[in-house]
Amino acid sequence: LGHSIHYLDSTDSTQKVAHKLSQEGCPEGTIVIAEEQKNGRGRLTRHWYSPKYTGVWMSIVLRPNLSPQKAPQFTLIAAIAVVQAIEELTNVLPEIKWPNDILINGKKVTGILTELQADVDKIDSIIIGIGINVNQQLSDFPDELQSIATSLAIESGRKITRAKLIQCILMKIEKYYHVYLEKGFAPLKILWESYAISIGKEIIARTVTGEIAGRAIGITNEGILKIEDDAGIIHEIYSADIEIKK
């Protein structure tokens, strides 16, 4: 990873740039990093707040020879890499909230957005977008984010070198990508579940078609969340917002 790095001072969205590079046939492992995003994108068309110099805003292009159904697994692989890199650099162990949130003390420090360029049966490229709040202080966040967002500096009490963090994440994504290509998702599923907060908890999953309440019992081999409701029926959730009941 990272043999081709596109470093930008300011851009709309590194995802957008990575999509374009991918369409132009860029090599696997191409990385786009920006100091600032004017129009950072989150999941479900949400905005992602990406101010200058304080965070890691990056997108990674992978080209695995796989079916599009495998794409959600890449969000989980990236999450494992980010959790381990954060722990290594800050000594704080974050938790993963399915599918793509990384939290410290219940507040969001990282979001991951995995997007695809694919045919019906074959991936052309997977674009993994990672946004990490690194050196913001609480007062730097807009009011509406102050109760739900945090940064590595707030949680660890010190400034983190972003270049080191990026390097560490890329090394780990590369490592786990190879594990995945050689051994499949099973070993990564176990690792992911060890960092996940929602598993074993009573949750409410809000999907586009409605709400499902029950106990999160794990993820499938595809990275899909399994919820067991009170009647003992197991639901498989592809995409949702999760609320963990207290």
Q: Is the Cβ–Cβ distance between 141 and 147 less than 8 Å?
A: no
**94 contributes a contact to ligand BTN by CB under 6 A:** no
CA distance 90 to 217: 30
The residue whose Cβ lies closest to ligand BTN is 111
* Amino acid letter, 131: G
CA distance 196 to 185: 16
- Candidates 19, 30, 31, 48; binder of ligand BTN (CB under 6 A) is 48
- Candidates 26, 58, 126, 205; binder of ligand BTN (CB under 6 A) is 58
**123 contributes a contact to ligand BTN by CB under 6 A:** no
CA distance 171 to 48: 25
Residue 204 structure tokens: 């409410």
**113 contributes a contact to ligand BTN by CB under 6 A:** yes
Alpha helices in the chain (DSSP H): 14-23, 71-90, 152-156, 162-183, 186-195
162 marked as part of a ligand binding site: no
**41 contributes a contact to ligand BTN by CB under 6 A:** yes
Angle at 118 between CA 79 and CA 168, to 5 degrees: 25
42 marked as part of a ligand binding site: yes
Residue 177 structure tokens: 């990508």
**46 contributes a contact to ligand BTN by CB under 6 A:** yes
**100 contributes a contact to ligand BTN by CB under 6 A:** yes
| Per-residue mark of binding to ligand BTN, 18-37 (x: CB under 6 A) | -------------------x
**99 contributes a contact to ligand BTN by CB under 6 A:** no
* Closest to 18 in 3D by CA, of 127, 174, 166, 130: 127
Task: Tell the smallest beta-carbon distance from residue 233 to ligand BTN (Å).
Answer: 29
**11 contributes a contact to ligand BTN by CB under 6 A:** no
**97 contributes a contact to ligand BTN by CB under 6 A:** no
Task: Tell the smallest beta-carbon distance from residue 189 to ligand BTN (Å).
Answer: 21
Compute the half-sphere exposure of residue 220: CA atoms within 13 Å on the CB side of its CA: 13
* Closest to 57 in 3D by CA, of 121, 129, 135: 129
Q: Is the Cβ–Cβ distance between 176 and 188 less than 8 Å?
A: yes
Task: Tell the smallest beta-carbon distance from residue 88 to ligand BTN (Å).
Answer: 21
Q: From the annotation, which residues make up the binding site?
A: 37, 41-43, 108
Q: List contacts with ligand BTN (CB under 6 A).
A: 13-15, 37, 40-43, 46, 48, 50, 57-59, 100-101, 111-113, 129-131
